[in-house]
Amino acid sequence: MTQSNSQSPAPGPRGATRGRDFSALWQTYGTFGILILLFAISSAVSPEYFLTRENLLQVLLQSSVMVLLACGEFFTILIAGIDLSVGSMLALTGMITAKMMMAGVPFWVAILIGGLLCGIVLGAINGMLVNLTQLHPFIITLGMAAIYRGVTLIISDARSVFGFDRAFTDVIAGRIVGIPIPILIAVVVAGILYFLTQYTKLGRNIYALGGNAQAAFYSGISVKLHTLVVFIISGACAGIAGVVTTARTAAAEPNAGVGFETFAIASAIIGGTSFFGGRGRVTGVVIGGLIIGVISNILNIMNVQSYYQQIVMGALIIIAVTIDKLFTRKTR
């Protein structure tokens, strides 16, 4: 009788095992399941329009800028940080690109310098300030967001800039075999960053830094260097998003990207990125961006005011972080 009792599993550990199994299952397939559920609900709400080819392309097109910003935001969250300046960097890089083209600079030079290079520089400034001050990235990027927005308003005189080379909009916002180019740009950027995180030493070091910064330091990983790289990636993604946004609207708006940091953070968190660092995948971030795009699309189809989208995004962030904390505790 004693032998039988010793061999019988206790109900407590078995329940804990089930909890860990469900946690692992959610972390692997939860985001994709949410996307499928949203597609089903949206199809039921608007069966005659939502699943049409043009509307699905529109969802992907609307999501492309968000995916770009979210991919950059993903890296800062991966090290248990955050970047609240992505929306302002989008506006500033887009404005610089437009100003350069209006000054007669060839559009491809304006893209490389005004968009990509300026984005890298702005991200590097964020990273260097985080390293120098040792303040949390929340404080630094919150302040820099205001500075970048102010610079955008100064150089534009708070006015839109338009009338630049038509070739710019054709190349960046046109179509290839019927597919909008911004979608292809987002796919390429996400693919490059996926490769970086999964198959390079840099990617492994960033995950290690997010998992335990002190352990990473004692393992020989340069915390300051990788922090700088993370913010450079975020700035580069914001710069590309700024170029895409300017091309799509055929104008550079000084208030472009206002509030976009909320959507970028929501895309990353909903996509399974742990707000506490060290866990997440670029593929999940892409799906998170698509979820944001589907929600915005179906709310527009239903003629729901955009103000309610802010409520939905805020609620999703709270729910996603709560679920992440709950499942992380169960896994441990």
At the topology level, CATH places domain 25-331 in ABC transporter involved in vitamin B12 uptake, BtuC (1.10.3470)
263 vs 112, higher pLDDT: 112
Question: Can you tell me the distance from the alpha carbon of 309 to that of 313, in angstroms, rounded to the nearest whole number?
Answer: 6
Residue 282 has pLDDT above 70, yes or no: yes
Query: Residue 80 is inside which H or E element, if any?
Result: none
CB neighbour list of residue 15: distance below 8 Å, 6 or more residues apart: none
Q: If 0-12 CB within 10 Å is exposed, 13-18 middle and 19+ buried, where does residue 173 land? A: buried
Nearest one of 197, 319, 306 to 266, comparing CA atoms: 319
Q: For 244-267, give the DSSP string.
A: HHHHHHTEE-TTTTTTHHHHHHHH
Q: Is the dihedral of CA 244, 248, 254, 260 positive or negative?
A: negative
**Rounded (10°) angle between helices 53-78 and 260-270:** 80
Q: If phi over 0 gives left and psi between -120 and 50 gives alpha, with beta otherwise, what is residue 115? A: alpha
**Inter-residue contact 293 to 120 (CB < 8 Å):** no
E strands, the chain, are: 161-162, 175-176, 179-180, 251-252
* Both tokens assigned to 199: 């198959």
Q: For residue 320, what pLDDT is reported?
A: 73
E strands, 178-223, are: 179-180
Q: If 0-12 CB within 10 Å is exposed, 13-18 middle and 19+ buried, where does residue 218 land? A: exposed
Q: Per-residue pLDDT tens for 165-195?
A: 889 999 999 999 989 999 999 999 999 999 9
Q: For 263-290, give the DSSP string.
A: HHHHHHHHTT--TTSS---HHHHHHHHH
* Both tokens assigned to 287: 């799906």
233 vs 47, higher pLDDT: 233
Q: How confident is the prediction for the chain on average, in pLDDT?
A: 88
Confidence of residue 271 (pLDDT cuts 50, 70, 90): confident
Confidence of residue 331 (pLDDT cuts 50, 70, 90): low
Q: 191: helix, coil or strand?
A: helix
β-bridge partners, 45: none
Q: Taking the domains of the chain in order of start, what are their residue ranges?
A: 25-331
Q: For residue 328, what pLDDT is reported?
A: 58
Total residue count of the chain as it appears in this document? 332
- 101-138 burial: b if 16+ Cβ within 10 Å, else e: beeebebeebbeebbbbbbbebbbbbbbbbbeeeeebe
How many other C-beta atoms are found inside a 10 Å radius of the C-beta of residue 20? 14
Confidence of residue 4 (pLDDT cuts 50, 70, 90): very low
